[in-house]
Amino acid sequence: MRIAVLQVSIEDREPVSDRINRVASQVEELADDTDVVLLPELWMVGAFNTHLLMGVSQSVEGEFSQRMGELARQKEIWLHAGSLPEVHDAGVSNTSLLFDPTGKLAASYRKIHLYGFDDGEAAAVVPGDRVVSAQTALGETGLSTCYDLRFPELYRLQGATGATAFLISSGWPAGRIEHWRVLCRARAIENQAVVVGCNSVGTHAGVQMGGRSVVVAADGEVLAEASADLEETLMVDLDLDVVTQIRDSFPVLTNRRLG
């Protein structure tokens, strides 16, 4: 099973339409044996450009979603298209979109934990309230977004319903990138699950993104990690049977007594 993690560069000087076309071309050029593709959080506009979210917001049936669904269908891949500013009756949410190989929207996830202490995203975005997992080529797969990574109970809830892999779409800044690196491994180790985390690079809204997109095995081994500052694609072959082997050889989850 082959997964591609696209670490996208986001710069304010690049028009949104140009970035969408550029990233779509990168997906189109992936090897035909790719099974799962993951993109960063809010890559069309930049996670810290909260003042721009309303202007580019769309419904989950909008033009962006249609474009991503068609990409998934053409490539016959599971495409986690990162997140978009989703407009709905209550406002705008930071919503991840997951498409199956037929191009159908298989799952959407509204980010629950919003960054910013009464400002930034926390002031501009409506939080989600639903934990989301989906059956993908990775098996039962939990969806989460960036700041969610700091809240382990979300992943425990996903694991309790059978998740053996987590896809994390992110816009994590360089100043706290060591937290990202540790937390991705921690979520893998404590849940004995594969973690695939996709971050962005570049500088937008005056904030430098930290890169270090990563694929972590269920025992915490880093299988691949991207650079801190370059746009690049990680290609990783995963043996999904290894998750079962790890859980059988060290069945720590059977000793849980709380929750």
Residues with a catalytic annotation lie at 41, 111, 146
In this structure, which amino acid lies at residue 169?
Answer: S
**Strand, coil or helix: 37:** strand
Closest CA to 44 of 74, 59, 24: 24
The phi and psi torsions of 223 (rounded to 5 degrees) equal -85, -30
CA dist list (Å): 102 to 34, 171, 194:
14, 28, 24
Side-chain half-sphere of 1: how many Cα atoms within 13 Å? 15
Nearest-5° Cα angle at 110, 239 to 71:
55
The token pair at 139 is 């098996």
DSSP string, 69-131: HHHHHHHT-EEEEEEEEEEETTEEEEEEEEE-TTS-EEEEEE-SS--SSSSTHHHHSPPP---
